[in-house]
Structure 1
Amino acid sequence: MANNKKTPNKKPKLNPYWIYGAIIAIFIAMQFFNTNSLQDSSTTTPSEFMKYLSEGDVETVEIVNKREAKVYLTDEALQKEEHKNSKPSTLLPTASKLPNYSFEFGDLQNFENQVNAAIQDQGLKTHIEYKTEQNYWGDFIIGFLPFILLIGVWIFIMRRMSGGGGGGAGGQIFNIGKSKAKLFDQNTDVKTSFKDVAGLEGAKEEIQEIVDFLKNPEKYTSLGGKIPKGALLVGPPGTGKTLLAKAVAGEAKVPFFSLSGSDFVEMFVGVGASRVRDLFKQAKEKSPAIIFIDEIDAIGRARGKSNMSGSNDERENTLNQLLTEMDGFGTNTNVIVLAATNRADVLDSALMRAGRFDRQIFVDLPDIREREEIFKVHLKPIKKSENLDTDFLAKQTPGFSGADIANVCNEAALIAARQGKKAVDKQDFLDAVDRIIGGLEKKNKIITPSEKKAIAFHEAGHATVSWMLEHAAPLVKVTIVPRGRSLGAAWYLPEERLIVRPEQMLDEMCAALGGRAAEKVIFNKISTGALSDLEKVTKQARAMVTVYGLSDKVGNLTYYDSSGQNEYGFTKPYSEKTAELIDKEISDIIEAQYERAIKLLEDNKDKLTELADVLLEKEVIFKDNLEKIFGKRPFETELKPLLDK
């Protein structure tokens, strides 16, 4: 089979800058040959000149431009030994006589008086001549230098403006309207594949189907199916949306354009829309292709109906151009758009409709099984101990995203290295989880004995109430060592529920108020240490009343807006009377759980005191310490003890 590839033309192209350089070199050469460098006369001093003058060796003194003297010797003087080296040498032949010496003098009047006096006193025949020399080429270059610079800048700008081709993005000054997308194709080494994406089975299946469609389109088109226009990855931060896109770039054997939504944003008008046009133009030229837009909410926010200022016009024009390119009058089906966002509620409805984003793939936080798979991926490069149980680690990290788990593995490796270990063990991972959740330990923080006692009873109150309640989360450990901004902390292992019942929420609120209730029961005083607890229970109570409709007095109503539009409004979706009812109901729920916590602690005051004393002594207590004081927990859960020490 003949090779139809064109052999590259290896002849050097004529660069116009070479021409500009040659012209400049010619000007410099002309300037050089026009100066005194063409004639090499010996230099002397005024005192030596006066000596030569008094001896009668000087035939003519030529004063040039009132500051330089050129000396011409007589023929007899040229025969003397001291003047043998004064014969001038020249690069070019010349008919005129050249000076033998030259020097510069100070004041012209004084110099003339000295020379005239010497000539008259000794009766010399020396002539004095005056001459004005002018460098025409130097003056010409200096005069035209500003014009030369302006012409050079103009040529540079014109070349940059025409660098991108004809119209479209190339017509913009400095290619500012050109797409900033990074291209990945079969020539690009992208090592990420679907094997590196742990969990997310449903999302991977749909994404793999899109990749498979591009590889084997006949499998689907033979049955009349069409390639989907786009897929939108939606989910909380750190769940692996961008990682899925990287896997697509590594797996797909088609050009993959990757960029962020903010890459379309620019201070110049029309740049965003121009970049969208250029992006899809490049993708269509290389079709079939995939475009990945990360953080698409930067340009895809819902368009306002009454735009009071022009601040959003540019973003809306960019969005309009994107809508047209994805599903407009002249589009084709050879370009697939992948996008990722964690703010799907603020996206424009026209962008979300079928025909543009046919599929919305929800990438949720991983469950316990998926967390174990994610741990296995991130533990591959880590030197871990042989008895490390990934199932245990997965149970210890409820609510962690994939990015959080990667951070836990890295922190555990750093902690083990800091302690000089040869392998990362179970305790290092537990310390890493504590470090991420609570912050760094501050053992040198100055705490008075009375404050430490109050903190111990506060944390013991949390532990006691949660131990006594059926639906409260099982306790893992309690510490009074300051971490981050907190003076003490209690670690729980929440049950991963899909739905939450009112009694479960109330038990959690009662356990959260156990710290303040313990301070009230023991010291009959309360402190500011319960700030985070109060914030938590207030949010829970407000959600019960205004979001989930779990209040009998307010009823089965919700004021939650999933579209997120109400948060920008200036009016509440309920009357002032209802607002008072909501506030009263929230307060009643919280106070009822506070009184419940106080009663529980008063009934178990001796055990609370014993637990606080153990906590003051050891600073960190675990589940087995509570079992020694309280006995087995009355409400056994399906979860086995996860942390015993």
Structure 2
Amino acid sequence: MLSHSGRYMQEISWAEFENRILGRGAVAKMIVVNQDYVKIYLKSSFKNDTAFAAVFHPVSGNEPNKGPHYMMTIGSIESFERRLDAAEQKLIPGEIIPVTYERTKAGLWNLAGWILPTILLLLLGRYFLRAQGRGNQSMFNFGRSTATLIEKEDTHNITFDDVAGLDEAELEVKEIVDFLKNPGTFTRLGAKIPKGVMLVGPPGTGKTLLARAVAGEAQVPFFTISGSEFVEMFVGVGASRVRDLFKNAKEKAPCIIFIDEIDAIGRSRSRNAFFTGANDERESTLNQLLTEMDGFETNAGVIVLAATNRADMLDPALLRPGRFDRHIYLELPNLKEREAIFTVHMRPLVLDKTVDKHFLAAQTPGFSGADIANICNEAALIAARGKKAQIGTTDFLEAIDRIVAGLEKKSKIISLQEKKIIAFHEAGHALTSWLLPNVDPLIKVSIIPRGKSLGAAWYLPAEKSLQTRATFLEQLCATLGGRAAEALVFSDISSGALDDLEKVTKAAYMMVAYYGFNEKIGNISFYDSSGQKDTGFQKPYSESTARVIDEEVRKLVDGAYQKTSALLSEHREQLTAIAELLLKKETIYKEDLEHILGSREESEKSMSRAV
């Protein structure tokens, strides 16, 4: 290293100082600087000593180095002096090395070493505070609302033309649009504006889309926020944000506030109160929301729309009239509504002339609007991967299969014996469902692995609002068809029926405990539609009743399994024929089953005669 005078100075340890320098009597003097380190000067008589050539004649130097030659860090002055005295008496008795002390001012670079990092941290902190302040989320603005404001001039507003399959819901919310556009028509008769509208429905049914369409049609400011954005790690932030949100909304009135997933802050205060406490942040946020919606102030021109798929979890005080006056229930779309949804999502697609929206709607019972949007996008991706100029019907069908069962895994290694077991398992499902009249019609059967399943059977569920006891029983039999086929053919069973057994168990418990289909339990239902009871800690029935329910469920499943086994034994030849065809083609369709079993109507008639 370089000394302050620009001369070369080598750093050494105390052990090297004692052995290499002090022991040879080469030290001329020592200077202790700032009680931190020692500069060591060598006697000029050692300049020709090869051991010290590196410090006397450095490579970069043009003249001999006059010192200092070495530098040594010390812990403290007392320790240094004590060790130096001991070393002098031991190594150079009678000789005393002159030691002086000096204190120097810190150089520019030493000062910069701690000043520059401090300045850099201050500049970074100022930058982040400014950046967060622009987003209204600085450390001094935690209580400000984080709602996104969509002004009426926004060209990306959604209207009712972009919403399909929600005709009944549209009729209810159009009154809100009319009130925001022409409030005088209603107020002259003494009517009051609804304060809140609760949109309830399964995920993907269009709750958020409908709320945005209301704002787009009414052409008013639209505040949108998620329920989870109210709750922060700091106490009181949620309530402060609720106050700020309504304050901003009143300034923009008439306007709409949309709170998505309101169950994040609106959960019932009585649920698990022992575990969550009575004064947590979520509860204070809910209390503030209740006060704003039904407090002493009048929120003229401010309508609150909220969406949730867990209405049973919400606090009763939040749902009462005067806060959320209207509850709009969105259900999964029917055939006509699915066709309308396909029409909306197919607008930007380049379609083949063979694409039939009615046919696709018939193939997707139980699908939500979000599922249909995903199907249209997947079909476009599949067609693009195939380098097609247009999207065809086969692309849509493949997209449906992929969403329902997952991506095909033709490369998955399956042994011949396992493939045979899978074939008979799926053949058992196919044969049983074909012979039982109340089971949904079968579309196709495949033993190609998809997603987590090794094989699958596709059905076309009928759009029914009610299901009879006979339908439930036959569905149990069809679900157990795979396990029964394995036991019949191989005299052994595999783990492939895990999903089937799970479905059977849940369906059987619903029949016994919910729907009153069991004679021993009677016309009693333990289902809690309100969701206010927490059955995780206490069951709504006694231990003796629980024992009876378990016994009846086991009897129900055993009876369905025995019926399925007898049905497959009676049609053993057809079962083998279906399995062999599956092993040959891997995927078979309804037409293939008709070739083996005949038309399903004839099979149903023969089954009814047998019964």
- What is the TM-score of this pair, normalised by structure 1? 0.73
1:430 aligned to which of 397, 400, 410: 397
Q: How many angstroms apart in 2 are the aligned matches of 1:277 and 1:191?
A: 26
Q: Is this contact kept in 1: 2:421–2:486, CA < 8 A?
A: yes
Q: Is this contact kept in 2: 1:300–1:347, CA < 8 A?
A: yes
SS in 1 for 2:594: helix
Which deviates the most, 572-581 or 368-377?
Answer: 572-581
Partner of 1:206: 172
Verify: 1:192 aligned to 2:158, yes or no: yes
Verify: 1:301 aligned to 2:293, yes or no: no
The 1:281/1:106 distance shift into structure 2, 3 A limit, reads farther
Q: Is this contact kept in 2: 1:207–1:248, CA < 8 A?
A: yes
Q: Is this contact kept in 1: 2:434–2:603, CA < 8 A?
A: no
Deviation, structure 1 residue 212: 1.3
Verify: 1:228 aligned to 2:194, yes or no: yes
Q: Is this contact kept in 2: 1:186–1:255, CA < 8 A?
A: yes
Deviation, structure 1 residue 331: 2.8
Deviation, structure 1 residue 565: 3.6
Q: Note the alpha carbon deviations across 1:197-249, whole angstroms, 9 max, x for none.
A: 00111111112210111001112122221110010000000110111122123
The 1:329/1:107 distance shift into structure 2, 3 A limit, reads farther
1:562 aligned to which of 529, 533, 538: 529
SS in 2 for 1:226: coil
Q: How many angstroms apart in 2 are the aligned matches of 1:635 and 1:245?
A: 50
Partner of 1:250: 216
Q: How many angstroms apart in 2 are the aligned matches of 1:342 and 1:288?
A: 27
Partner of 1:405: 372
Q: Is this contact kept in 1: 2:405–2:451, CA < 8 A?
A: yes
Paired residue type of 1:454: I
Deviation, structure 1 residue 307: 4.2
Partner of 2:244: 278
Mapping 1:320-399, distance limit 5 Å: 320-399=287-366
SS in 2 for 1:175: coil
Paired residue type of 2:174: Q
Deviation, structure 1 residue 186: 2.2
Deviation, structure 1 residue 518: 1.1
Q: Is this contact kept in 1: 2:180–2:301, CA < 8 A?
A: no
SS in 2 for 1:460: helix
Partner of 2:20: none
Deviation, structure 1 residue 629: 1.1
SS in 2 for 1:174: coil
Q: Note the alpha carbon deviations across 1:506-561, whole angstroms, 9 max, x for none.
A: 11111111111111222222111111111111110000011111111111111111
Deviation, structure 1 residue 574: 1.3
Q: How many angstroms apart in 1 are the aligned matches of 2:470 and 2:198?
A: 37
Which deviates the most, 220-229 or 472-481?
Answer: 220-229
Which structure 1 residue ranges, 5 or more long, are not aligned? 1-104, 110-133, 638-645
Partner of 2:542: 575
Q: How many angstroms apart in 2 are the aligned matches of 1:177 and 1:156?
A: 20
Verify: 1:485 aligned to 2:452, yes or no: yes
Partner of 1:11: none
Deviation, structure 1 residue 187: 2.9
Q: How many angstroms apart in 1 are the aligned matches of 2:543 and 2:327?
A: 39
2:416 aligned to which of 449, 462, 469: 449
Q: Note the alpha carbon deviations across 1:446-502, whole angstroms, 9 max, x for none.
A: 111111111111111111111111101100000111111111111001111101110
Which structure 2 residue ranges, 5 or more long, are not aligned? 1-63, 69-103, 605-611
Paired residue type of 1:179: S
Partner of 2:484: 517
The 1:634/1:561 distance shift into structure 2, 3 A limit, reads same
Partner of 1:18: none
Deviation, structure 1 residue 293: 0.5
Verify: 1:241 aligned to 2:199, yes or no: no
Q: Is this contact kept in 2: 1:470–1:635, CA < 8 A?
A: no
Partner of 1:620: 587
Q: Is this contact kept in 2: 1:197–1:247, CA < 8 A?
A: yes
Verify: 1:553 aligned to 2:520, yes or no: yes
SS in 2 for 1:232: strand
Q: Is this contact kept in 2: 1:611–1:629, CA < 8 A?
A: yes
- What is the TM-score of this pair, normalised by structure 2? 0.77
Q: How many angstroms apart in 1 are the aligned matches of 2:264 and 2:581?
A: 53
Partner of 1:537: 504
The 1:523/1:188 distance shift into structure 2, 3 A limit, reads same
Partner of 2:226: 260
SS in 2 for 1:360: strand
The 1:630/1:312 distance shift into structure 2, 3 A limit, reads farther
Q: Is this contact kept in 2: 1:185–1:255, CA < 8 A?
A: yes
Q: Note the alpha carbon deviations across 1:137-186, whole angstroms, 9 max, x for none.
A: x9xx99xx89x989x99x979x98xx89xxxx99x952110001111112
What is the number of equivalent residue pairs in this alignment? Answer: 502
Q: How many angstroms apart in 2 are the aligned matches of 1:482 and 1:308?
A: 44
The 1:379/1:636 distance shift into structure 2, 3 A limit, reads farther
SS in 1 for 2:297: coil
Deviation, structure 1 residue 631: 1.0
Which deviates the most, 440-449 or 474-483?
Answer: 440-449
Q: How many angstroms apart in 2 are the aligned matches of 1:431 and 1:328?
A: 54
2:425 aligned to which of 450, 458, 470: 458
Q: Is this contact kept in 2: 1:190–1:249, CA < 8 A?
A: no
Q: How many angstroms apart in 2 are the aligned matches of 1:562 and 1:360?
A: 16
The 1:187/1:574 distance shift into structure 2, 3 A limit, reads same
Which deviates the most, 205-214 or 535-544?
Answer: 205-214
Q: Note the alpha carbon deviations across 1:349-376, whole angstroms, 9 max, x for none.
A: 0000000000001111111110000001
Q: Is this contact kept in 1: 2:342–2:372, CA < 8 A?
A: yes
Partner of 1:42: none
Q: How many angstroms apart in 2 are the aligned matches of 1:569 and 1:439?
A: 33
Partner of 1:32: none
SS in 1 for 2:214: helix
The 1:264/1:503 distance shift into structure 2, 3 A limit, reads same
Mapping 1:101-140, distance limit 5 Å: none
SS in 1 for 2:175: helix
Q: How many angstroms apart in 2 are the aligned matches of 1:631 and 1:245?
A: 51
SS in 2 for 1:478: strand
Deviation, structure 1 residue 309: 5.2
Q: How many angstroms apart in 1 are the aligned matches of 2:532 and 2:246?
A: 31
Paired residue type of 2:427: A
Q: How many angstroms apart in 1 are the aligned matches of 2:361 and 2:501?
A: 29
Q: How many angstroms apart in 2 are the aligned matches of 1:375 and 1:335?
A: 34
Moved over 6 A (4+): 105-109
Deviation, structure 1 residue 312: 5.7
The 1:226/1:636 distance shift into structure 2, 3 A limit, reads farther
Q: Is this contact kept in 1: 2:435–2:603, CA < 8 A?
A: no
Partner of 1:319: 286
The 1:312/1:383 distance shift into structure 2, 3 A limit, reads farther
Deviation, structure 1 residue 291: 0.5
Q: Is this contact kept in 2: 1:468–1:634, CA < 8 A?
A: no
Partner of 1:590: 557
SS in 1 for 2:224: strand
Q: How many angstroms apart in 2 are the aligned matches of 1:188 and 1:173?
A: 30
Q: How many angstroms apart in 2 are the aligned matches of 1:189 and 1:364?
A: 30
The 1:312/1:519 distance shift into structure 2, 3 A limit, reads farther
Which deviates the most, 294-303 or 567-576?
Answer: 567-576
